[in-house]
Structure 1
Amino acid sequence: MYKLPWTLLLLIIAILAPTNGNLTEKVPKNQLSLSDILEYNTILFPLTTVSKAELVGEQCHARLQELRRGILQREFWALKVLDASGKQPPAFMLGDNMWLGSAQLCEAAQNGLNLDISRYVAHKMNMSLLTDKTPFDVDYRVIYAAHNSSYQTDVVYGQARQLLHIGLCVPSECNSQQLMQLVTAYFESEIFLSGDLHAIKPSLLKVKTMEFKGGDFHKMIAFKLVVVFVTYTLLMTLYAYYLRTRRLPSTNVQVKPSSFEAFVLCYDLQLNCSKILAPPDSASNTFAFLNGGRMESALIATFFHTFIMLKAIVSNPTQLFTYVSSIGNMEVAMDVFLLISGFLQTYSYLRNRSQLETIRRLNFSRSVLEIVKLTFHRFLRLAPLYYFMICITYLAMKYNDSTTVFNLSGFVTENCERYWWRNVLFIHNLYDHKDMCLAWTWFVSLEMQYTITLTVLLVVYAKHPKYAKISLLLLMIASLAYQTIVGIQVNFQISLETTFANFTKIYANPLARIFPYLGGALTCWLYLEYNAQLQSCKLLTNTIYSLLIHLVFVICSQFAPLGRGYSVRVETFIFVLHRCLYTLTAGWSIIAAANNRLAWHGRFLSAKIFQKTIHVSYALSLLNPFVIICLFTAGSKLVFVEPIRMFVLFIGLIIILHILSFPLTVLFEMPYRNISSLLTKRGPAKRAKSS
């Protein structure tokens, strides 16, 4: 009852209260000056505040103070320098560490902005924006600084570490060492610390000057090796062309080429192109569908490799992680490729009964030589193009690192300078993935290691089948046991992040991935030895059973839907079971497709496009992250990734990769395949002559 009178009284006072119509006088004026605002909202301006002659030298300090006066006086040249320098963007908490500014605007500040505009068209801009130039030379530099802010999402995927990329347009008189001292002083000053809302506390690593030194480039050993290899290949190709067009057809009698001429003809461009472009004969090839399976695996690996490498050059790495991790299971993406490789190696070995009989009669020393010979043939097919790509990638990354704002290329070249020998020896997958040179080529080392292992088992099988079978089963069991033990040790959880945090132990370790490779060998042995019995098996004869098994294989290509939120032991068990089922169902699908079951899938994988592109699959796998790095870091522009753009990007990338892979395959892979085949044919001929 007392509320109503008080309410009426307050209303009357409010109505009768005098007003002077000038409410702004009651609001305190902003006491911040322009210099105060710039110190807390930019990075370049506070550098002029902390600059001292004893810190950066007289010349550099004088230029910075001249720049400071120009900014405070709003001179166009100074504002362009300020605008060309980076500042903290939004979405830092989502992983955006790119504070880059604009290298192009920094150049325009020094040389003017050359725009072809009409003088008869009205513009609101001041024309001094185009014509004003700095009274001194300026350079665009990039600062790389590490940070450990707990206010930023730091999902673990990819090889490169999280770094602040800070672009600065600074006077040329300030060298990199002086700039490092200046930026370090700024990071430690009260100006930065009082505005460090996210507790970034950056630690300066290095300063990059955007210039390419061609003289140093030509002195590199990698460059000399590339020149020698390319020159040798071109000379041999021209000589092969000469033999084809002039010498061999010059007589009416068909003359068998000598050993040297046969060697040279392995480089014949026409022959190698015809092998790739020849119409595929899928009908007579029982396992033509395996080519489609290998290409599918290569495309999946290309997808994951591509968007994992993108992490270092996108402004939304957290969203990219979400997109990639929700698409499929990277854990088993390469398992089909490994399974097919094991299958084909075993098939080419076991189907040659005469070779098996010959090996069975060899003594121990001759058996060891046979293993060395078979391993050399695999080396001859893998190494030349691989070594060439190591050199080419290093040189391209070295150039790219000198001209791009991103640190990814420099990270790759640093690892290759220190650890290239691991790649040459095919052992780089045995070391920590953060130290790998060309980390995406881990599968090449794995392939060579498995080739040696399976070759030993196959030679043992020719002499003592029982021991070979026991060894193979023990290795497969050891693989599953290893994955289980490591999963428990590292507190495994089914996640893309877990894969990268433990990449060396779980993903690239030979014992962790040998199960599918040996699974492919076991599948081939079952097909060659027991296919007649398998054809009467209900699992194979009943279409429903075959489809159900294949359905399990398809489901396993996705992340385990029931494997999240449980204990470490349960998730590890699901993870190992997942990999095991994926390999077993894939092997059974191969046997079913070879026996005309799953015909619809077999016809799809036997399509002509897969049969043709399989020849370039190796070059494509070596090229994919290299191309994406060169394409998206060359322009020094950030990439914002979202699903539709990812899809369009992937389609375009596949087209570019196939175009680039063709000449690499023809010139640097096919000749050595031909040499391997030539040596394989010459061996039996020599043995026949000696006998």
Structure 2
Amino acid sequence: MGAEESMGCEANRDSRLSPHWTKYKSSLMNNSAFEVADASGRYASGFLWGNNYWTGSGSYCRMLAKSEDDVSDSGSSDPPPFPVGFYSVKIEVILTKKLTPTGRYVRIGLCLPAECSSEDVIALMRISSRTETALAMPRTVQVLEVKTPAEYYTFWTDPTFHVLVAVTSAVVLLMVIGTSYDLWLEYAKGRVAGDAESGGRPEEADAPAPILMGAYQCPPPHAASRKARPEAMEPPAREEREETAGRKTRRFPSIFCLGLPVTLNLQTSVTERGDKDCPDVMYQPKDDTSSIGGYSDIVAGLASETALSFSIRRNLATIADHTVGSDTLPTLHGLRFLSMLWVILGHTCLVAFKYSDNMAYRGVVEKEFFFQTISNAAFSVDTFFFISGLLVSFLYFRTTSKLDVKQLTRTTGAKSNILQFVGLMAYRFGRLTAPYLFVLGLVEVTMKIFYHNSVFEPPTLDHINCPKYWWRNILYINTLFPVKDMCMLWSWYLADDTQFYALGIIILILAVSHFRLAAVTTATFLISSWCTTAFIAFQNNHLPSVNDPLALFDKIYDKPWTRLGPYLVGMSVGWILFKTNCRIRMHLGAVAAGWTLSSLCLLSLLYGLYGTNLSPATAAAYSSLSHTAWALAMAWVVIACSTGYGGWVNSLLSWSPLYPFSRVTYCAYLVHPLVIRITAMNMDSPLHLGKDNITIIYLGNVVASYVLSFMVSLAFEAPAVALLKILHPKRHKADNEQNPPHYIDPTVG
């Protein structure tokens, strides 16, 4: 029986209802409020199939709530005789023990008079749950929560929203400035190049235009009474001055750097070819002025380089570049992208199961063989851990073999090691935190909106936890606290990966001078992780073949001491690839055996538990070793592909069109749960699970997640990398490389 119908029959017998209920009852009786009742939820079929959402139609109720002037837009012939509002009620329903062994939590949407209070709604629900007829089934209904229209969230009053608007506006302004400046420089380069090709004015053609356009690096000894590089000087003015250049008198145009006049005091000799000899400075030809990052030779000061760091054109070219530098392995791009697709698939299914009207369908599909691909999607995160460990090791050893770290730290011994550790951690913090903070703010605001305005209950308590515990996320220590207090539940990966990174850097610094001790330390941590995981799983009787993979989220799934194995395996593989310089000769039989064993390992981890019943001891061993086993199988894939034995697998994983999607993996990981939640929480009614519609929803989530991730990357991630490049002590040497020196930043992105 619907709540309004019960009220019509029982309101006159319950004095707890407010006086305005009489008007509502009379409106129902004279047919003037039937549309209001029609917008309310009521018991529907499928309760035993998992339908816990009797939502009605919040959008219809809000349309009815419009004033008489908006009646034409409401779809109603006559407006309600009183103001209405949409109420969301959470109740616990208990029927017989057979039907509801435990209480069922049901969400009901009610379109009621806007004057109703929470106490009115509770009284109404008590009336509707009465069992006074002989045919009525025994039932117990307890109201747990009531959300009234007065509790609707207005983001204009939220300080977090104000901060988001301010930050977004500032970043957009910087992007406009940086892009405009970048386009202006491109235009100036083309104009000077065109003048040189067409002959132009003789004195202009004779001027050192390549210096102005960044074709050379020749810092003058004095420029505007201060040190400056003439790489970002503005186009020459028409007024010219004479300069003595060795044995000839040359006419140089007036030059400006950052808006200030610059006098070039160059005592040079000019050969017949027009080359200039710089006794006090060095000419360095720039071979690839059109390459990504080539404009670092155009800019002449910190302000110019900072502005160009926000250039959309420049950053988009970096992201979309189909080449890779020496600081990565092409195979990893494909692994990143495919793993990200797998993560989105798993999260899409989790949210779809939660907000469906046939939740019991999950129990049906989980028994299908290939559904193990989704239920075991947790291994995708192990791939990310493996890649991170591999890169931090491979690139650290490669970097330290090419330069003396002591020259960078300008000290030796323990002090040098400490400075190196602090520098690497600071770089990572700067690299990750800007987009992380922005998305965290978006999550807080959107979850507040959904909590107050959506008929559904948010999947997590981000609207409460983020304002209270955001600092744990920024320090990357949120996995050290209970999951019930976690903000951005999926950020557990970033916390674990950063903690692993800190441990890995310590081990790598130790390995430079004490390699055997570092190897023993690595093995000790690996074995300790295995033992700890096995003990926790055994103590809690965790059965991977039966239990939900997230059943022990707070004890096993997100804790760093249980997920360390793949990262350490990755570090070991990185050292192997460095020592061999990605050149390993293997017999054909060894290659075949490697691919066979790795394939069997991966398939057995994905589908091997189907229909099995493990003993507690075996289940504990599986929980302990499975993640490391996955990383070992990934190790063969990367080693084989990096040393020329990958075949079609390497061709797929190294396919250049995947590079742009791989480069925004970090931002895609940050934003994709937000996209999935927005898709679900904005619905007016629950989903009806089915393979076809879940597939369509998944594909839409993938597209939307990557579109948003490109936007966040262009606005926050790419500028952060470019700004950190400016601060890098070896940035001028790195300018000749295609990619910025982010060897200390092996994140998912």
- Cα distance in 2 between the residues matched to 1:153 and 1:525: 56
Alignment of structure 1 residues 22-171 onto 2, 5 Å: 41-48=1-8, 51=11, 56=16, 60-61=18-19, 63-71=20-28, 73=29, 75-107=30-62, 131-146=77-92, 163-171=105-113
Offset, 1:152: 6.4
Map of 1:369 onto structure 2: 419
C-alpha change, 1:334 and 1:170, in structure 2 (3 Å) is: same
* SS at structure 1 position matched to 2:145: strand
Choose which of 566, 579, 587 in structure 2 pairs with 1:516.
566
TM-score, normalization by structure 1: 0.81
Partner of 2:317: 274
- Residue number among 158, 180, 204 corresponding to 1:220 in the alignment: 158
**Shift in alpha-carbon separation, 1:92–1:683, aligned structure 2, 3 A:** same
**Contact residue 186 and residue 192 of structure 1 kept, 8 A:** no
- CA drift at 1:166: 0.8
| 1:224-275 Cα deviation digits (max 9, x unpaired) | 3212322332333334345435573524687652234323322222210111
Partner of 2:114: 172
* Offset of residue 339 of structure 1: 0.2
Given residue 571 of structure 2, which amino acid in structure 1 is its aligned partner? Answer: A
Give the direction of change, closer, same or farther, for the CA distance of 1:459–1:209 in structure 2 (3 Å limit): same
The count of aligned residue pairs is 618
| Residues 684/78 of structure 1: CA separation in 2 closer, same or farther (3 Å cut) | closer
Structure 1 gap ranges (5+): 1-40, 118-128, 156-160, 687-691
CA RMSD between the two structures:
3.4
Change (3 A) 1:222 1:133: closer
Q: Given residue 259 of structure 1, which amino acid in structure 2 is its aligned partner?
A: L
Shift of 1:685: 8.3
1:517-556 to structure 2, matched below 5 A, reads 517-530=567-580, 535-536=585-586, 542-556=590-604
Contact 1:339 1:517 in 2 (8 A): yes
State the secondary structure of the residue aligned to 1:136: coil
Matches of residues 216-615 of structure 1 in structure 2 within 5 Å?
217-241=155-179, 243-245=181-183, 248=232, 250-251=234-235, 257-281=300-324, 287-320=329-362, 322-323=364-365, 326-328=372-374, 329-352=376-399, 353-355=401-403, 358=406, 362-408=412-458, 411-495=461-545, 497-530=547-580, 535-536=585-586, 542-561=590-609, 564-615=612-663
Rounded to whole Å, the distance in 1 between the matches of 2:596 and 2:335 is 19
Q: 1:472 to 1:56 in 2, by over 3 A?
A: same
CA deviation string 1:622-671 (max 9, x = no partner): 11121121123223222112111111221122112222221111111101
SS at match of 1:204: strand
Is 1:183 aligned to residue 229 of structure 2? no
Deviations 1:578-598 (A, max 9, x none): 323211111122111111112
2:84–2:112 contact (8 Å) kept in structure 1:
yes
Displacement of 1:319 in angstroms is 1.8
Letter in 1 for 2:398: R
Paired position in structure 1 for 2:144: 204
Q: Does the CA-based 8 Å contact 1:556-1:578 persist in structure 2? A: no
Give the drift of 1:195. 4.1
CA contact (8 A) 1:77 1:109 kept: no
Letter in 1 for 2:108: I
Amino acid at match of 1:68: K
Q: Check conservation: 1:556, 1:581, Cα contact below 8 A.
A: no
**Alpha-carbon distance change, 358 to 556 in structure 1, aligned in 2, over 3 angstroms:** farther
- The worse-fitting range, judged by mean Cα deviation, of 496-505 and 666-675 is 496-505
SS at match of 2:650: helix
Query: How far apart are residue 148 of structure 1 and its match?
Result: 6.6
**Whole-Å separation in 1 of the counterparts to 2:303 and 2:327:** 32
Cα distance in 1 for residues equivalent to 2:413 and 2:56: 70
Q: Once structures 1 and 2 are overlaid, which stretch shifts more, 507-516 or 626-635?
A: 626-635
CA contact (8 A) 1:546 1:597 kept: no
Cα deviation for residue 70 of structure 1 reads 4.5
1:210 and 1:402 in contact (8 A); partners too: no
CA distance in 1, matches of 2:554, 2:520: 28
Give the alignment partner of residue 619 of structure 1, picking from 637, 661, 667: 667
Q: Provide TM-score, normalisation by structure 2.
A: 0.75
Letter in 1 for 2:57: S
Matched residues in 2 for 1:533 and 1:315: separation? Answer: 56
The DSSP-based 3-state class of the residue aligned with 1:77 is coil
Q: Report the CA distance between 1:299 and its aligned residue.
A: 1.0
Letter in 2 for 1:179: V
Counterpart secondary structure, 1:566: coil
- Bigger share in helix: 1
Q: Which moved more, 1:315-324 or 1:96-105?
A: 315-324
Equivalent position SS for 1:334: helix
Preserved CA contact (<8 Å) 2:122 2:143: no
Distance 1:505 1:535, change over 3 A: farther
Whether contact under 8 Å (2:431, 2:724) holds in the other structure is: yes
* 416-425 or 640-649, which deviates more: 416-425
Please say if residues 164 and 442 of structure 2, whose CA atoms lie closer than 8 Å, have aligned partners that are also in contact.
yes
The Cα shift of 1:287 comes to: 1.7
Amino acid at match of 1:363: G
State the distance in 2 between where 1:424 and 1:286 align.
Answer: 27
Q: How many Å apart are 1:293 and its aligned residue? A: 0.2
Q: Is the 1:100–1:166 Cα contact (8 Å) retained in structure 2?
A: yes
